[in-house]
Copies of this chain bind each other. A is one copy, B any other.
C-alpha cells in the first residue's frame, strides 16, 4: 500500500545499529554493571505514551536480537498506535535490556515521529482523493539518512533521492556555477549517465517551461504559491508536458497542503519531515525479573 524505500541486508543494518549503541556505551554501562545482580533475567514492555504511527520496529528488533534478547512485536511498522499501547515485549538478560534501552527508544521515537508526521500529511491528501506524493528531502539529521528516509517510507511518503549518487538534481547553486540553466541541463544530459533522471529547481514559471523544453525529467517549483502553480499548469497541459513530473517545495505546511495538492503537482517535498522531528514519546518498563 504505502511506499517503502530502502532495503538493507540484515547483517549490514546490524553493524550500523551496533555502532549507534557503541557510541552510547562508551567504555561500559557503569550503572547496570554496579546495580544489576549477575545472571538476572527480565521481561520488559515497550509502551507508547502518545498516539501516532509506529516506525523503527524492524530496526530495534534487529538490534535487540543481535544482543541475544527475545523480541515479541505487538505491532508492525506503519500501524497506528495509541497512548498506553504495548508495542513490543522483550525478554532476556536484564543488564542487556537496561543497556540497550535508550538506543532502542531513541530510534523508535524519532522514526515514529517522522512516520507520524508523514502519515498525517499523506492521509490528508488521500482523503481529498488527490494523488500527490508527499516526499522527504536530504535535510535529515546528520548521518541518519537511512533511518530518516526509511521512516518517511513507512509513513507512506516518498524518500526522494537517498543521497547524492542517485539523481541529477540541479539546484540554484549549480546553475550559478554552470552559468545558466540551459548550460547546466546541457552538461547534465551530455555528461550524466542515461540511468539517472535529471531534475531542475526553478524559481519562475518561465524557467519551469524552459526546463521542460530542455528535456528534463522533473521540475522542482521552488517557493511557488498554489495560484502560480495553477497558472503554470495551464501552459503545461497546452505544451503536452504531462510526462514531466512537477515537484512543489518551500513554504508548504499542513494548513496549505491541500491547496498545493489540488494544483495537480506530482510531488510535494518538505524538509521539516526529517530536519525538525517531533518524536513520539515511547518508554520501556521492566515488568518482571528472575
B107 touches A142 (CB 8 A): yes
Using A31-B164, A42-B177, A177-B289 as known contacts, say yes or no to A193 and B159 having CB atoms under 8 A apart.
Answer: yes
Q: Which of A6-39 contact B (CB under 8 A)?
A: 6-12, 15, 18-37
Contacts of A19 in B (CB 8 A): 143
Complexed CA–CA distance, A105 and B140 (Å): 10
Indicate whether A135 reaches chain B with its CB closer than 8 angstroms: yes
Q: Residue among A141, A144, A170, A218 with the most chain B CB within 10 A? A: A141
Least CB distance, A270 to chain B, in whole angstroms: 13
Least CB distance, A77 to chain B, in whole angstroms: 11
Least CB distance, A148 to chain B, in whole angstroms: 9
Least CB distance, A150 to chain B, in whole angstroms: 8
Task: Tally chain A residues at the interface, Cβ within 8 Å.
Answer: 113
B5 touches A194 (CB 8 A): no
Q: Which of B28, B140, B173 lies in contact with A162, CB distance below 8 A?
A: B28
Contacts of A170 in B (CB 8 A): 31, 35
Q: Which of B8, B26, B107, B174 lies in contact with A31, CB distance below 8 A?
A: B174
Residue-wise interface mask of A (59-75) relative to B, using a CB-CB cutoff of 8 A (1 in contact, 0 not): 00000001110000000
Using A94-B177, A147-B142 as known contacts, say yes or no to A193 and B106 having CB atoms under 8 A apart.
Answer: no
A279 touches B285 (CB 8 A): no
Contacts of A245 in B (CB 8 A): 194
Measured CB to CB, the nearest residue on chain B to A27 is B162
Q: Which of A221-276 contact B (CB under 8 A)?
A: 243, 245, 247, 266-267, 275-276
Residue-wise interface mask of A (145-157) relative to B, using a CB-CB cutoff of 8 A (1 in contact, 0 not): 1110100000000
Indicate whether A187 reaches chain B with its CB closer than 8 angstroms: yes
Least CB distance, A172 to chain B, in whole angstroms: 8
B187 touches A34 (CB 8 A): yes
Complexed CA–CA distance, A176 and B48 (Å): 20
